[in-house]
Structure 1
Amino acid sequence: MALDYTTTIVIDLPRDKMIALFDDVDNLPKWQKGLKSFEPLEGSPGMPGAKSRLTYQMGKREMVMIETITKRELPDAFDGTYEIEGVHNIVENRFSELGPDRTLWESHNIFQFASLQMKLMGWLMPGMFRRQSQKYAEDFKAFAERGVDVRDT
């Protein structure tokens, strides 16, 4: 079973400024709620082929995922895969200028489920995955435009 969707959001910043914030790994915990650590494993972080371990605290549960960068064509595109037990997530990000001070961020997600438990979750609660992706985009927008840090909320 696979879950396939796209989220979009408009960031009220010039694309080059938006990309600079998006591309800085030190900013990740500021807009990805629950991110405890980002640990490079191999390659140069953010570059194609690079692998990193991201550790999240989700309520009482700790989640560890492995990120592999598959495409880096900034300022237009940035893609990666994210592996967590029972789930393979492909993310394709596209960034388009809507004007001198507005950027459209489109994020296409494909979740592939391996375990029965995750297949059931994807089937029963597909909106949960889309809502989480949209929440990260909205949190990034608040961080980029107004300096809101999710760790302070």
Structure 2
Amino acid sequence: MKYRCDIIIKVPLRTCVETFLNSENMKHWQRGLQSMEHVSGTPGEFGAKMKLHYELGKRQMVLLETITHKRIPHEWHAIYSTEGMDNIQENYFEATPENHTQWISINEFLPLSFMTRLMILLMPKTFKKQSLQYMKDFKTFVENGTSVAHA
């Protein structure tokens, strides 16, 4: 399953991308993020790996983030792997004429088991809704400083 989300963030490109790339900010816009753990590579650089621990309701989830492409300030791509599924995410950032930032995120979910294949088939809108929520929370954090860390 593949889809595209985009949002306009009312801050300049450099500010937006610097905030996005600072892993310390992730807790402020990724609901449920409990902790991060550097695994390998130079943090934030191509090939770096980081474990992300989430608590979503009563469910615990661990994602392994691998940075697969980086051309700052315009592109940042990664693969997020978890049990039964990979998410290939391509992020594109462009300055608008108003000196704002357009963030385009292209996500492709690859099921690696029968259960995740079934989940994607039965609940495709849930995945896009979650992606849009993270993007909206990022926008709110960058524009207003509002954190979801305790939401």
SS at match of 2:39: strand
Aligned length: 151
Is contact 1:46–1:72 with CA below 8 Å preserved after alignment?
A: no
Runs of 4 or more consecutive aligned structure 1 residues displaced over 6 Å after TM superposition: none
Give the structure 1 partner of residue 117 of structure 2: 119
Q: Which runs of 5+ in 1 are unaligned?
A: none
SS at match of 2:96: strand
Q: 1:38, 1:152 → 2: CA distance?
A: 16
Question: Matches of residues 40-79 of structure 1 in structure 2 within 5 Å?
Answer: 40-79=38-77
Residue identity over aligned pairs, in percent, reads 40
SS at match of 2:149: helix
Q: 1:21, 1:116 → 2: CA distance?
A: 37
Question: Matches of residues 14-93 of structure 1 in structure 2 within 5 Å?
Answer: 14-93=12-91
The one-character-per-residue Cα deviations of 1:18-76 (angstroms, maximum 9, x if unpaired) are 11111100000000000011111000121111011000000111100100000111101
Is contact 1:56–1:62 with CA below 8 Å preserved after alignment?
A: yes
Give the Å deviation of 1:100. 4.8
Q: TM-score scaled to structure 1, two decimals?
A: 0.96
SS at match of 1:99: coil
Corresponding position: 1:11 with 2:6: no
SS at match of 1:28: helix
Q: Which amino acid aligns with 1:124?
A: L
SS at match of 1:123: helix
Q: Which runs of 5+ in 2 are unaligned?
A: none
CA-based RMSD = 0.8
Give the Å deviation of 1:151. 2.0
Q: TM-score scaled to structure 2, two decimals?
A: 0.98
Give the Å deviation of 1:114. 1.1
Choose which of 114, 135, 138 in structure 2 pairs with 1:137: 135
Q: 2:141, 2:97 → 1: CA distance?
A: 20
